[in-house]
Amino acid sequence: MPLSLTSVSPLGGFGLPGERRELSGAEIEQGSTAVVANSGAAEASCVRASETLRILLLAEIANFTLLRRHLGVTRSDTIVAELVDRCAQILPGARSRSSSDRLVAIEFEAASLEDAEAAAARLQQGFAEPFNLDRETHAIRLRIGGAAGRNCDCEEVQLAEWAEKALAEARAEGRDIIRDVASTHLGVDPLELIHELPRALREGEIFLQYQPKVRVRQQEVASAEALVRWRHPTRGLVLPGEFIQAAEQSRGIGALTLWTLEQVLRDQRMLAQAGYDIPIFINISGVLLADAGFVDQACARLGDHGAKIGFEITETAVIRDPESAIRHLQRFADIGVVIAIDDYGAGLSSLAYLKQLPASELKIDKLFVTQLTSSNRDPLIVRSTIDLAHALDMEVTAEGVETPAAMALLSVMGCDLVQGYLISRPVEIDAFRQFLEEDEHLKALDGQRFSFLRSDRLWKSA
């Protein structure tokens, strides 16, 4: 049965993720929320509009990393173009456009949340048929997150934020998710999270995702970062920015970090048994660097495992209590824990602290990496940071690498490691192991890991 969309034009004023902007005068006149001079007419218009839902679906290619490895940059871009066209064919009353190399935003109005869910189901059904490209057949796995809000009540930015959050939940849970903004509270009470966190740890709501770090020259996975997530039974996916601060304020951050450490050690043993003996990095709060009790417990749990565990700390974490932080970091380094300085450049970078820390890795904040190919200053900052780190005998990791052009430039600059969506999104342990297995399979086939990262291809496609 065809989807019943309301008989209005597609929404013209939405800002896609990363494209927040004001509506132009032309868009206001032509969009579905036309400016009405008469206040009575405006009120009537709002009543009619309140009967419809504004829908924003974000559809991404779940297996895009594997496709890009096989097809290369240029041919995988063709798949993305086909993705937009097929979305437009499946939902002809909607507006579809590409928002990134693997993401399509679909905007329309519908009478109910059920209609939005039906639209997502039609998209999945439409993508069950594979793509044909250069006499090859390629299956596309679609992942959808979306948000629905009443026309008169829902701000564009609010809808986009909830669509992005729903997509993050869809990645974590392995199913399509559409959130009703009207029935969801944007603000989460930190006190509620503080009280619920111990229960979440007991009942298995807290889980880890892993994001690989790839060595640029060798094109191989060198390590991974463990990222904490919370799958709440009623709120859905609670993002780290919402509960980490609450944990710090409640002094529950120690229990959360020790749980993370123990889970990482378990996952690491499982990976080692499968033949993947790689270091895994954990984020350490600045609150804990001044806590001698936590340091004692962490050292006791690590035992002889220290050489395969890394701790990522931010500059601001050290500045809180430099003397204690440096002393405790040295204790970790003495048992083999690799210390990495995270988000370098995002805070008040201090060369005085940098030379005192027992760090062997420096991670350049994604703020500088995402604009590497479009800014005049960022390449200078990144290059000078790489040179400084190397002079201090530290390796450099670039965070937030999302494009082949940025990857190519970082390679030329001498960056040691990269991390970002170009390689892989954060995934749970089973998917991470599958990622490592696929990497080994490709290596066995053509002797080349991550072939889409080769500099000769990257420069031609940039």
pLDDT of res. 17: 39
Token couple for 256: 């959360």
Count CB neighbours of 352 within 10 A: 7
In a 3-state reduction of DSSP, which class is residue 48? helix
Token couple for 156: 């564009």
Token couple for 206: 């807290």
Cα separation, 136 vs 130, in Å, equals 10
Question: pLDDT tens digit string along 154-208?
Answer: 567 778 888 888 888 888 777 788 887 755 544 567 778 888 999 999 999 999 9
**DSSP structural state of residue 427:** B
pLDDT of res. 345: 75
Q: Say if residue 158 is exposed, middle or buried (CB neighbours under 10 Å; 0-12, 13-18, 19+).
A: middle
Q: Which residues contact 46 (CB under 8 A, 6 or more apart)?
A: 151, 152
State the first-to-last Cα distance of the chain, in angstroms, to the nearest integer: 43
- On whether the CB atoms of residues 329 and 278 are closer than 8 A, the answer is no
Q: Which residues contact 444 (CB under 8 A, 6 or more apart)?
A: none
pLDDT band at 47 (very low <50, low <70, confident <90, very high): very low
- Give the β-pairing of 280-283 and 309-314: parallel
Count CB neighbours of 120 within 10 A: 22
The secondary structure element, H or E, covering residue 106 is strand 103-110
Q: Which residues contact 202 (CB under 8 A, 6 or more apart)?
A: none
pTM attached to this predicted model: 0.65
Could you give the domains of the chain?
25-183 (3.30.70.270), 190-461 (3.20.20.450)
Question: pLDDT tens digit string along 346-400?
Answer: 655 667 778 889 999 999 988 788 778 877 888 999 999 999 999 999 999 999 8
Least confident of 133-147, 165-179, 447-461: 447-461
pLDDT of res. 459: 31
Question: pLDDT tens digit string along 307-320?
Answer: 699 999 987 777 77
Pick 454 or 239 by higher pLDDT.
239
